[in-house]
Every structure is written in C-alpha cells, then in structure tokens.
Structure 1
Amino acid sequence: MEKKACGAHALLLSYPTQGHINPMLQFSKRLVSKGLKATLATTLSITKSMQLDCSSVQIDGISDGYDDGGFAQAESVEAYLQRFQAVGSQTLAELIRKHKRSGQVPIDCIIYDAFLPWALDVAKEFGLVGAAFFTQTCAVTYIFYYVHHGLLTLPVSSPPVSIPGLPLLDLEDMPSFISAPDSYPAYLKMVLDQFCNVDKADCILVNSFYKLEDSVVDAMSKVCTLLTIGPTIPSFFSDKRVNDDMAYGLNFFKAHQSETCIEWLSSKPKGSVVYVSFGSMASLSEEQMGELAWGLKGSSHYFLWVVRASEEAKLPKGFINEASEKGFLVRWCPQLEVLASNAIGCFFTHCGWNSTSEALTLGVPMVGMPQWTDQTTNAKFIKEVWKVGVRVRVGEDGVVRREEIEACIREVMEGERGKEMKENAMKWSGFTREAVGEGGTSDRNIEEFVSKLKVSK
C-alpha cells in the first residue's frame, strides 16, 4: 500500500547545523505534500540533541565520525570535514541498503546539501537520482562558482568585482570566505568544492525564488540548469497550503519565556519594537555586545533581544535592569511568530539567509549587521537591491559603535526613509507568497522536480 501511495522516496541529507537543516526540512514537507515520501538525514550527534515535532517527515542519521560531540569533538575544521566525508560516505551507503532491505519504500533519490558533494558519488554508486541543494542565495552560489572555475582569482586585487547578474561588489560585499580567503582556508575549500562534481547531478535546487534574484538566476542558468524552490518557510506564514505546517518543527535551543515574550509584544503599539537576533551560531565580542546594548537603549525604541545563554556574560554590568523599561531579553524565541507580530517595526539581524528570508516573507524591514560567510552579500542585497533596510558601518577597529547602531535603528523605524523601506518590505512579502503559492515559480519548479523523479522511478 505504501509503495503504491508514494511515487518515490527522497532522502535529503543536510549539513549538520540548524541553518542548513531547517530549509531541507521545509523542502521535505513540500515534497510530501506533492505525494513523495521524504526522509531527512543528518549526523547522529545532531539527531541526539535536536527537538523535532514533525510527523510527515521521517528522520534518520549517518555518522560523521564524531558521534558523541560532532564538530566540537573534532581536532580542527579540516579534520572534521575529512572524517565526515570518509565515514559519512560509508554510513550513507549503509542507510541506503537499510531502506532497501526494509521491504517498504526504497530510496530513489538523494537530495544532498551542496556542502557535502561526496553524497552525489554515493548516489551514483547505487544508481539513484542525485540532486544538489544550495541553501544559500543564487547570488552567493554564483560568486563561489566564479571562484571555483577561475573566473575570479583570489585574493581579489581590484574591486569592485563585476559578475553577470549581480551588482558591483566591493570587498565588504563578498562572502567572508572570498574577501578574506586566508582566514578560513578549510571553509573556503568546502564552499568551492560544492562544484567539484555538480555537473554530474541530475538537478540543481536553490533556496531562493526567481523574482527575488531574476538577473542572477538568468545569468547562472546560462552555465548550469537550476530550479529555484524557495523560500523554504513554514507554509502557515506564506501560502498556507501545507497542512499543519506552522513551524519548522526543529530546534536546538529551547524557547525561553516564549509565551511571556509574545504576551509582551502584544502589549506594544504597532511597529514600535526592534527585534534583535544573531541566529544560532554568531558570537559577538564583549566590546561589541556592549556597543549594541547601549545603542539599542539609546534608540529609545522598545526592543526584544535574543541573547543566547552562552552570550549572557558579555552583557554590560547592570544593563538588564537599566533597560528594563524598554527592553525585553530572552535566550531564544519563536522567531517566525515574533516577526509576524504587528508590534515589530524592524529586525536587527546578522543577515543569515534563513532570517532574511523570514523577514522578506513577513514584510519586516531590516538593520543588517553581518558577521561572516554569506551574510555580507545578503546585507548588500537588503540595502541596495531589495531596498528593505540599511547596513551598519563598521569602524576601523572592526567594531560597530553605539551611535551608528542608534542612527540605523532610527532610520528604519522613523521618517520617510523608514516608511519607504516598510513599503518595499511589504511588496517583497507579496512576491514571496506568490512564489510558493499555487502556480508560482517555485511551486512550478517543485512540481517539475517531482515529476522528473517519478518518471525516473
């Protein structure tokens, strides 16, 4: 019965961080809604620690060679990635065999995070369809493509850089692995190796949508065939067509005072609150935490600030009490629910792609303070292409000062400029919902991918 009901079985293999797992989990739900069976796989150390509330997608694990501690257990980034490839390839093959022996629906397709290109080799070894999944924007993906193919040499010697479909890019606009290649050699190799065998993939999927990056998609489509399938946001906050999809259903952090947080927001006037969060990985220096704290207080606006437990010690002494009249600090919160609140006036963000996609979907303007990897390029688009926010200026010492933070918040929250950004944000919100809605560009591309998979089966 199960074999008859499911047209095909897709195994989605994610890089083991929340920012990569969430988009794949959401795409898995979309595939299930189209009649496929979907299994999401990540490392065993992650499956032990994550809290999951999703009944439609099966969860499975493979080993990265560090089952007790994952990345934190590794001697170095290089050691982790090398061992993950060696052990991961073996255990992924074992997982495929296990599903084949189960007597249920064997795996027909491996959709792998492009950070793990060795998964495609395993897929081909078993005669399965292999699809690369790029969790970042098409723009960032194309920059890495250019470097991998020698079309942009490192270090960049004469900015601004011109790449078809993209605006002119200064060094500060490039992904940090490109602007400072000597600082992250292992990560640079990882992002460039995404293309080492991608020409053998049966499909290339990108977590974006056409209208958001039309010129980039058109340019990149001339060198490789790709399908935009994003934004990968829970359906409740976009098209509402996937049943019971009101949240990602996955967390590594327990929401702290979530009910109190939403209750606090509901008591504030429309558009009066600055929401501040730097995601699950970014770590600010103690000096930068202090400047951010006093900049938020100095703006005189209400603010809801997510400060993870590991970052609390960096807060200025006495700040929580001094800011209590306007500020509310939590260790974690339901971000989508917060961004959907009428009380939110802007999002002070690190410009991670998931957070940026959520803000675009929910029509929230942004103040960008990017930290590393793709966030700098996302901030460029937020300010200059989509025109939905501003980007803080970093001092020569690498610290963003409180005066700059205060000024940027005021620019987005107040006056004609702020009004214009809010209007632009609402416009893009409509476009994102159209993309995943019935007959939208992303919806059509997902249908095309599913049809090809069922035919290949």
Structure 2
Amino acid sequence: MNSRHFLLISLPAQGHINPTLELAKRLIHAGARVTFATTVRGLGQIKAFPSLDGLSYASFSDGFDDGTKPTDDPNHIMSEFKRVGSQTLTNLILRLSNEQHRVNFLIYTLLLPWAADVAREMAIPSAFLCIHSTAAFAIYHHYFNSQNGMHQIYNSNPPDSVQLQGLPPFASTDLPSFLLPTSPHASITPTFQEHIRTLEKDANPCVLLNTFDALEEEAIKTVDNMNLTTIGPLIPDSSFGCDLFERSKDYLQWLSSKPTHSVIYVSFGSMVVMQRKQMDEILHGLVESGRPFLWVIRSTENGREEAEDLIKNKSEEEEQGLIVPWCSQVEVLCHNSVGCCVTHCGWNSTLESMAAGVPVVACPHFSDQTTNAKLVEEVWGTGIKARVNEEGIVEREEMKKCVEMIMGGGGKGEEIRRNVERWKSLAVQAGKDGGSSQEHLKLFLEKLR
C-alpha cells in the first residue's frame, strides 16, 4: 500500500470538500499517499489547509480561474468546465507522476463525471465518491441507466411518484429538484445522466457511498449492476475539516452558557440563498419559541443586519439569539447545549446531525435536500419536515410548532429523540474498527493490491 498514490478531486463547495478530505485522511491512515485537488479558484478560497503526512494539495482549471464567466449560459459553462477540466486534469496527473509517485487511482465527486474518462484514457482505475444519499443515487440510476432508465419518459411527463423497492414512494416534490423539467437547476441534469452512463462504461463500476449499511440497506439493494461500497459517514472532526468562510470565534462561549439540550442550531449551508420574507418568518418563529438559538447567516446574505437588530430588540435581556457568519458545524452539533437543528437537509448536515444525536427540523430548498428531508421524516424518524404555504414559505407558526414538537415533552418529540440516538449509535459502530464501513474500505483497498 505504501506505493499507492490516490488523486481525489472535488468541486470547491463546502459540502464536497469536507467528506472528500475525510476520505483522504482514512486512505492515508491505511498507508496510502493522497493528493487532493480542486479548481484553481477554489483552492485559493480555502482558509486553512489540514496538515497530514502523506497529504498534498493541487489544482485543475474550470476555465474561469479568476471567477469571471463571460456568459450566464449554464450549458456553456458546464461544457467549458468539461473541456478545460479534462485538459488540465490530464496535465496534473502527468506532472504528479513525474514529480512524485505515479497516480495509481482517481476518486472523483459530484458533477465531475468527465474525470473518469480522463482516467480511463490514461489507464488509471477510478471510483465515483457519491456525496449524496444512496437513495438519491438510486433515483439517478432509475432515471438514467441505459437499460431501462425513465428519463426520456419523465422529461415529457414528470411522474406523480417514483417507487424504489423497500422505500416509501417519492412524490415529484421529494425528488432531487433538478430532475424536474421546471427546475431552475435543470441544466445540470445532463451531468447526472453522464455520471450513470460513464460508470456503465466500466466493466466493474465502483461507487463509494458516504453512508453506512444499516442506514440505507434498502436503497443499496435497488442498484444491482454496480459495485456500491459504503464507507461513511465521512465526517471530519473540527480540527481536520476546512472552511471556505471565516469562522466566528464567540459562539462556543455563548453555547457553554446555555442549559443542556436547550439551544436551537440553525444553518442552511453554504449555498442556499434565502428569501428575505422566509428569513423574517423563521426568525420570528425562533424568537416566539422562547428558546435560545444560534443561527449561521453568511455575511454576504441579505437581511443579516435586520435579523441582528430584531434579536436585540426582542430579546436583549435574555441573550436569546446569536447570529454568526460561519462556524464549525460538527463542533456545534456535538456541544451538549444543542437540542435541535433547523437545516436545509444537505447530505452532510443530515449525517452530521444524526451522528451527533441531534434531531432536525427539515427545511429543504433544492437539489437532493428534498429527498433527504423525506428520509429524515418518514424512513429514519430523526426529525420533522416543516410545511410550507402556497408561496413556498415556512411560516413563523409552523417553525415554532416544529421546534416545540421536537424539544417539548410530548410523545412525538420523545420518539424522534429515541430514533436519533439509535442511529447515532449505529453510525458510531459502522465507523469504528471492525465496523461495516471500516471493513468495506479495507476490502476496497485490498482489491487494489
């Protein structure tokens, strides 16, 4: 294993980088060398690089290194990214092979299916690291596989629901949003089709899943023509992950001043841009709950100053709310004062909340978040999905009701807390020595020898 050199590539998004880096750490602990690469601009945005013997960093180009895109046409942007990315990734692999040890294996993440073609042309084996849920991947496979994929039919006549064996029916509103032809993000749909078709070119397609057997056993069974390997949850501790935003420094002291399991942690990730009206409704619901809350509102988001003013006006004496521009989510979720997480239900946030034993109020916006929210509420029972009005807004009364249901003394909240503790225990078991995910990773590496 000492001679094996893995190249791991990822888009420069918070939810892509951290699980990829956690996998890098685990590969290194198994005796491998790892180079982590993202785009030129993305590498420059990382605030601090985790340091580990055997880990190095590199970059490839997306064609827009200065961040300036000459067009708003998403199809042109993705096409250019594929063209330039393929060229510069090839050059990177050649350079690494000349300077250090030859790259023996490529692992790529979401929206980079062309990387597998580069690897194939260079006679390097590859694997797809799926950083969405297995249920979401199974839906992509259901849509796009070349044997009986339903995309062409669904594109002209979207389904009322999609049924995967062993799981509840997924209504159209539960599907990853970009699969719907009316979605503003439908331009990336061809890339997900390319993911499936690219894997099918491989005689033994390998997909590494950021999940664990017990959590998604049924979803794993629905994809029977690919080698699916569960290696999750890939959750870096607060000392090893990296940030694309500057962390605040005052939130831990504030959390430590609050009673056990009393704080509502609110975060909608690094990409959701919330409507001002939605922000106001959530804020009023939190204030009216009377419970302390820590809310991450990025400094670039509209409404941040107004939200801070409202907190001061409504709850100055009690110090009920604290707004920060960014924080270590794992650190916050593992703090004993946190009792609930209001989340967009990105896959990282879903896993991190579960692994910390924190129940959630799900407020999905787009992408796979809608699918994850369905699983949280109906399959795992680790939270509640907040209902929206006819404008798609979670109203303040609904937010207050959901928080009270989870954090209050009622039977539903107790059931959810029991469920999340059970899944927390199973996640820990999967990730420890001898656990299913550790054993799967070990077997994956043994097959490469």
Aligned residues: 435
2:310 to 319, 323, 334: 319
Match of 1:167, SS state, is: coil
Note if contact 1:154-1:181 (Cα within 8 Å) is conserved in structure 2: no
Cα distance in 1 between the residues matched to 2:356 and 2:307: 32
Q: Of 283, 305, 323, which residue of structure 2 is paired with 1:293?
A: 283
With the length of structure 1 as denominator, give the TM-score of the two structures: 0.91
Q: How does 1:237-248 map to 2 (within 5 A)?
A: 246-248=238-240
Percentage identity across paired residues of the two chains: 37
When residues 99 and 443 of structure 1 are mapped into structure 2, their CA distance, relative to the original with a 3 A threshold, is same
Measured in 1, the distance between the counterparts of 2:186 and 2:135 equals 21
Give matches, 1:41-440, under 5 Å.
Answer: 41-56=37-52, 57-69=55-67, 75-102=72-99, 104-149=100-145, 150-151=149-150, 153-155=153-155, 157-201=158-202, 202-220=205-223, 222-234=224-236, 236=237, 246-256=238-248, 258=249, 260-313=250-303, 315-316=306-307, 318-321=309-312, 322-324=314-316, 325=318, 326-415=320-409, 416-440=411-435
State the shift of 1:317 in Å: 8.1
Structure 1 stretches of at least 4 aligned residues deviating more than 6 Å after TM superposition: none
| Partners of 1:394 and 1:400 within 8 A in 2 | yes
| Structure 1 residues 148 and 68, CA gap change in structure 2 (3 angstroms) | same
Cα deviation for residue 323 of structure 1 reads 3.5
Q: Secondary structure at the match of 1:318?
A: helix
Deviation at 1:154, TM superposition (A): 1.8
Q: Is the 8 A contact 2:361 2:383 kept in 1?
A: yes
User: What is the deviation of 1:207?
Assistant: 1.2
Aligned to 2:161, the other structure's residue is in SS state coil
Shift of 1:64: 0.6
1:142-188 CA-to-partner distances (Å, cap 9, x unmatched) read 10111113236324545232122321111221111124545323122
Give the deviation of 1:439 after TM superposition.
Answer: 1.4
Structure 2 residue aligned with 1:242: none
Tell me, in whole angstroms, the C-alpha distance in 1 between the residues paired with 2:188 and 2:289.
Answer: 37
Contact 1:52–1:249 (CA under 8 A) maintained in structure 2: no
Q: Which amino acid aligns with 2:161?
A: P
CA–CA distance in structure 1, aligned partners of residues 77 and 17 of structure 2? 18
Higher mean C-alpha deviation, range 349-358 or range 198-207 = 198-207
The 8 Å contact of residues 341 and 360 in structure 2, kept in 1 or not, is answered as yes
1:39 deviation in Å? 0.7
How far 1:318 sits from its partner (Å)? 3.4
After TM superposition, give the deviation of residue 440 of structure 1 in Å: 1.2
Deviation at 1:247, TM superposition (A): 3.2
Partner Cα distance (1:350, 1:58) in 2: 32
Task: Give CA deviations for 1:396-455 in whole Å, capped at 9, x if unaligned.
Answer: 1111111101100100110222122111111111111111111111111111111122x2
1:310 Cα deviation (Å)? 1.4
Spell out, residue by residue over 1:58-80, the C-alpha distance to the aligned partner (whole angstroms, 9 max, x if none). Answer: 1100011111117x665332222
Equivalent position SS for 2:135: helix
Structure 1 unaligned segments of length 5 or more: list them. Answer: 237-245
Q: Deviations over 1:2-21 (max 9, x none)?
A: xxx72300001112312111
CA distance in 1 between counterparts of 2:361 and 2:380 reads 13
Q: Distance in 2 between matches of 1:35 and 1:317?
A: 48
Equivalent residues of 1:66, 1:74 under 8 A apart:
no
What residue number does 1:30 align with? Answer: 26
In 2 relative to 1, CA 157–55 (structure 1 residues): closer, same or farther, beyond 3 Å?
A: closer
TM-score by length of 2: 0.93
Superposed CA RMSD in Å reads: 1.7
Shift of 1:189: 1.7
What is the CA–CA distance in structure 2 between the aligned matches of 1:173 and 1:49, rounded to whole Å? 33
| Per-residue deviation, 1:223 | 2.5
The amino acid across from 1:398 in the alignment is G
Partners of 1:195 and 1:418 in 2: CA distance: 39
Worse overlay, 131-140 or 180-189: 180-189
AA paired with 2:428?
A: R
- Residue 300 of structure 1 and its aligned partner are, at CA, apart by 1.0
| Alpha carbons 1:165, 1:217 under 8 Å: kept | no
On the 8 A contact 2:206/2:226 being kept in 1, the answer is no
Deviations 1:289-323 (A, max 9, x none): 11011011111111111111112535458313123
8 Å CA contact 2:3, 2:101 repeated in 1? no
- SS at structure 2 position matched to 1:250: coil
Q: Structure 2 CA distance, aligned partners of 1:251 and 1:73?
A: 28
Deviations 1:209-257 (A, max 9, x none): 111000111221x2222101111012x5xxxxxxxxx43431111111x
**AA at the equivalent of 1:69:** G
Deviation at 1:115, TM superposition (A): 1.8
Comparing 7-16 with 181-190, greater Cα deviation is found at 181-190
1:347–1:409 distance in 2 versus 1, CA, 3 Å: same
One-letter amino acid of the structure 2 residue matched with residue 275 of structure 1? Y
**Inter-CA distance 158–251: structure 2 relative to 1 (3 Å threshold):** closer
Contact 2:177 2:183 in 1 (8 A): no
1:10 is matched with which residue? Answer: 6
